[in-house]
Amino acid sequence: MLKILTPMVILIAISISLFILQERKVFDVNSLVHIDPVPYTKLLMQKNKYVEAEEYLSFFMQQEYVQKNAEAKELLESIVLKRTSYSYQAEKFFEGIFEGGSDEDIGKVSALVTDFFVIGDIRDLSKEGIRYAYDERVDGFVVALSSLGLLATATTFYSMGTTASIKSSITLLKYGQKMNKIPKWFQREIVNYAKTTKDVKSLYNIEILLTPIVKLYDTVGLNQTLNILKKSKSLKELNALVKFSSRFGKNSQPLLVATNNRAFEYAMGMPKVSNKNFIFASSYGENGLKGLSRMGENKFMRRLGFYSNFTKTSYKGNLNTFWNYLLKKIPTYWLFIISFLGLFYFVYKFVSFLPEKSTK
């Protein structure tokens, strides 16, 4: 009985070891470590970026491990308290007026209101004209936007208001330039369009550039629109980022920050993965999305102990729990030792059996 049982046990041990080694070759879940959002949130607060800080921390608060973090909860409460304080709101209001930009809504309104009317375009053209007269650096992008803004304002009545959306987009871009959020490729495209735009008909040609901006703004708001636009490298990539944002909504910017901008690429490669599981994987950073991509959604979530989204029997659930335990607890070197000794055992048995067979 022992002679039969011993090789069976060894064979099972070898098989399990090889299966675990194979899975770890695909992706080792032991390499996954949850992102702690507290340090980066504190860094944003130190830079007085409370909007981004709340956005980032709220993104991670969707996960249970952060919800149990007392420091994270206290930090979020302090951010909300700060943003709703009268002194902070007043500071941001005047920031919008005097600096021409702010990350808070009240500051944006004060900054954008003058740019939306013709006085803002005339003011900016005058400033750039003075710089040109004194041989100072002229911002060609602002000149282009102001020229297009004047044309859009002048033709709004003529076109029965249809160019009003173009004017709104131009105002948004001027604001973005003040906040240093407009990428160079986009600036070049706008300047080229401005050189060839002379009337209402040609003004509509610029919509190919402005349409993605409008869609982003409608989906994620001004702050995320400008941050996402800044990450783009071409019109094609900008349109792809619009699709990404339409999928993840307000989670888009935090997703990109948490994964070093790789969430965008992984999302294109995993269009059928549920948003909830994709966001959960991103709480491990870029490495989590790598694991999700390599292992597939079902296996990845099972390996991390999540079964709620999958149909299973009690037997399968227990088996998965046991398998996950082995994956996480057995060191890789032990797996190699078991596999080597097991194979050595069978080779030894096979070699020792050959002489016995030949003597008969």
Segment 200-237, tens digit of pLDDT: 555 667 778 888 998 999 999 888 999 999 999 999 99
What string of H, E and C letters represents the secondary structure of the chain? Answer: CHHHHHHHHHHHHHHHHHHHHHHHHHCCHHHCCCCCHHHHHHHHHHCCCHHHHHHHHHHHCCCHHHHCCHHHHHHHHHHHHHHCCHHHHHHHHHHHHHHCCCCCHHHHHHHHHHHHCHHHHHHHHHHHHHHHHCCCCCCHHHHHHHHHHHHHHHHHCCCCCCCHHHHHHHHHHHHHHHCCCCCHHHHHHHHHHHHHCCCHHHHHHHHHHHHHHHHHHHHHHHHHHHHHHHHCCCHHHHHHHHHHHHHHHHHHHHHHHHCCCCHHHHHHHCCCCCHHHHHHHHCCCHHHHHHHHHHCHHHHHHHCCCCCCCCCCHHHHHHHHHHHHHHHHCCHHHHHHHHHHHHHHHHHHHHHHHHHHHHC
Which has the higher per-residue pLDDT, 359 or 36? 36
So what's the pLDDT on residue 117?
Answer: 56
Output the average pLDDT for the chain: 79
Higher pLDDT among residues 118 and 158, named by residue: 118
- Residue length, the chain? 360
> How many other C-beta atoms can be found within 10 angstroms of the C-beta atom of residue 249?
12
What backbone phi and psi angles, to 5 degrees, belong to 142?
-65, -40
Q: Tell me what the mean pLDDT of segment 182-196 comes to.
A: 87
Share of the chain above pLDDT 90, in %: 36
pLDDT of 237-293, one tens digit each? Answer: 999 999 999 999 999 999 999 999 999 999 999 999 999 999 999 999 999 999 899
Structure tokens at 335: 């797996």
At residue 27, the pLDDT reads 66
Handedness of CA 173, 178, 183, 184 (dihedral sign): positive
Mean pLDDT of 47-64: 94
Check residues 323 and 334 and name the one with the higher pLDDT. 334
* Pairwise CA distance, residues 325 & 305, whole Å: 10
CA 257 to the chain's CA centroid: 5
- Segment 129-147, tens digit of pLDDT: 777 677 777 777 877 777 7
Residue 313 has pLDDT above 50, yes or no: no
The answer to whether the beta carbons of residues 266 and 289 sit under 8 Å apart is: yes
Distance CA 97, CA 101 (A): 8
pLDDT-based confidence at residue 12 (cuts at 50, 70, 90): confident
- Name residue 327's amino acid: L
| Contact call for residues 270 and 298 (beta carbons, < 8 A) | no
Q: Which residue has the higher pLDDT, 9 or 89?
A: 89
Higher-scoring residue by pLDDT: 22, 163: 22
Residue extents of the structural domains in the chain: 1-32+259-355, 117-250
Query: For residue 24, what pLDDT band results from cuts at 50, 70 and 90?
Result: low
Split at pLDDT 50, 70, 90, the class of 76 is very high
Distances (CA, A) of 164 to 11, 28, 101, 267: 75, 54, 22, 34
CA 252 to chain centre: 5
Sole residue written with tokens 């999700």: 292
pLDDT of 170 over the 70 cut:
yes
pLDDT band at 192 (very low <50, low <70, confident <90, very high): confident
